[in-house]
Structure 1
Amino acid sequence: MKFDSTGWQLITEVLSYAAAAEQRMSEQQERISFLEQLSVTDELTGIPNRRGLRSALGQTLSAAARHKETGVLGFIDLDDFKHINDVHGHMAGDTVLRFAANALKQHIRPSDVVARIAGDEFAVILKRCTAAQGLKRLRTLQKHINKGIVNYGGATIPVKCSIGVQAFDGTTDPAELIEAADQAMYHDKQTRRGAHLRTA
């Protein structure tokens, strides 16, 4: 089949339009992926937020059911955080939150998950471990945070935290798991006697 100049021009325009449409679709998909990532990421610390935690926890429990694995969910709450904000200001509080997030990220495995789920509350999913192993690792994370000192505006701010640990397996309900870890953390905050462990 032969094409005259008009035919070739039409083909060129069609190909150009198709290439432009493909580029727009690619850019749109990138934007969607970016917005999806933003929706599960804490803006201040750069780690997953509560929505991100729920997504990761659902995937973790599904994998635990398939492979008959166990793990633990840890809740971590910074002690006297309101006092830090009241005395040193919210910018100092933000610095403390970033310190805690970084301390947690640096001392977990790549397969584990750390998230900021509320103002001064964090959660850690420790996969493929026993309840005793998870408790030991959460206590180690607690020690890393409790050794922390944040310097801000000439002030030296000690950082302390309380933890709660809840073991899980493939049969654990995610909502009940979150509630149990949260209650264990508040128990620890009240008693100041280390992590309070409940088994699934």
Structure 2
Amino acid sequence: MTERTELEAYLNVFLEEPSMATFEAISEVLDPSVLPELLDFTYSFILEQRDPQYFDLLIELNNKKDEMRKAKFEDLRQLSTLDPLTGLPNRRGLYQRLDSLMSIASRKSSPLSISILDIDHFKRFNDTHGHLVGDEALTYFGNFFKERLRGSDLISRFGGEEFVVCLYGPSYASAIDKIKDLGRSIQTESLRWEYSASGVNPISFSAGLSWLSSPSSPGSNFTEKITELLNFADRNLYKAKESGRNALVSSKVGFRNSESLHHFA
């Protein structure tokens, strides 16, 4: 907590020319973390004066307090939807963004694909190289995936060593090609990774992909459709693992006999 004498020193500067402009000028030279305390201290002091000339200033200071509270709430809301390790959307953030993406795809009658990517043998990787290196790997390759996606696409850390990639608007073949490209490029990239010199083998993943030609009509609740797509992708993921890993199994939702297996190597 900021020392009271320090707050009083800033308050004395403020009182030389009491205005929001003065408060903002003082704010620019302070650590942002102390601003709420300074604002509360200043507001309380001015309020105690019961001086009519400060009435408008009190309103402005109170509005500033409201702005800070709203900004703090928004920061907390954003943090609740992000994975603290990778900075990517977490499961909650994924569902929020998928709902918005589904709505857009529905209005434009555009296809969507959802893929679950699971780093192969990650437990063994952690046991061999340690959890700190494992965390580095998740962060590094999570952002590696993100850099290779378009702004209209989405990547999330789904939990553990699993990532979810949602592609907006691709044909079925294009969705498959994109995940295959990621599957091949991660193995090449892992050889360039700083930890590869420490004996880390090329990293690979297995993936399950589900593709939807178009979501249901606009205004629909997309939660069930999102769950269906994720369940299809999850089932396909386990089939990819059963095939020997380092592979993709894909299928079209609502189409029979559309399942196909694609090895990355």
Give the conservation status (yes or no) of the 8 Å contact 1:103–1:144.
no
Q: Please state if 1:120 is matched with 2:140.
A: no
**Does residue 68 in structure 1 map to residue 109 in structure 2?**
yes
CA distance in 2, matches of 1:141, 1:104: 7
State the Cα distance separating 1:179 from its structure 2 match.
0.9
Q: 2:198 aligns with which of 124, 145, 155?
A: 155
In 1: Cα distance, 2:195 partner to 2:113 partner: 34
Q: 1:30-41 maps to which residues of 2 (within 5 A)?
A: 30-41=71-82
The structure carrying a bigger strand percent of its residues is 1
Letter of the structure 1 residue corresponding to residue 86 of structure 2: T
- Structure 1 CA distance, aligned partners of 2:53 and 2:240? 70
The amino acid that maps onto 1:15 is: D
Match of 1:164 in 2: 208
Question: Which letter maps to 2:251?
Answer: R
Q: In the aligned structure 1, how far is the partner of 2:163 from the partner of 2:124?
A: 18
- Work out whether residues 96 and 159 of structure 1, in 8 Å CA contact, stay in contact via their aligned partners in 2: no
TM-score (norm 2): 0.69
CA distance in structure 1 between the aligned counterparts of 2:122 and 2:135, rounded to whole angstroms: 10
Which of 68, 88, 93 is residue 47 of structure 1 equivalent to? Answer: 88
Structure 1 unaligned regions, length at least 5: 1-8
| Contact 1:63 1:170 (C-alpha < 8 Å) held by counterparts | no
Distance 1:144 1:156 in 2: 19
Match of 2:171? 130
- Structure of larger gyration radius: 2
Moved more, 150-159 or 92-101: 150-159
Distance change (3 Å), C-alpha of 1:162 and 1:153: closer
Count of aligned positions: 192
Aligned partner of residue 14 in structure 1, secondary structure: helix
Kindly indicate whether structure 1 or structure 2 has the higher relative contact order, using CA contacts under 8 Å at least 6 residues apart. Answer: 1
TM-score (norm 1): 0.90
The amino acid of 1:159's aligned partner reads I
After TM superposition, give the deviation of residue 154 of structure 1 in Å: 5.8
Q: Deviations over 1:117-169 (max 9, x none)?
A: 11100001100111111111111111121221344396231211111110022
Paired AA for residue 206 in structure 2: S
Larger deviation: 53-62 or 140-149? 140-149
Q: Deviations over 1:34-84 (max 9, x none)?
A: 111101101111111111111111111111111111021111000010011
Question: What SS class does the counterpart of residue 166 from structure 2 fall into?
Answer: strand
Query: Which segments of 5 or more consecutive residues in structure 2 lack a partner in the other structure?
Result: 1-49, 217-221, 254-265
Q: Distance in 2 between matches of 1:69 and 1:55?
A: 19
Matching residue of 1:199: 252
Secondary structure at the aligned position of 1:138 is classed as helix
| Percent identity over paired residues | 29
Partner of 1:176: 228
Q: What is the identity, as a one-letter code, of the residue corresponding to 1:180?
A: F
Larger deviation, residues 112-121 vs 58-67: 58-67
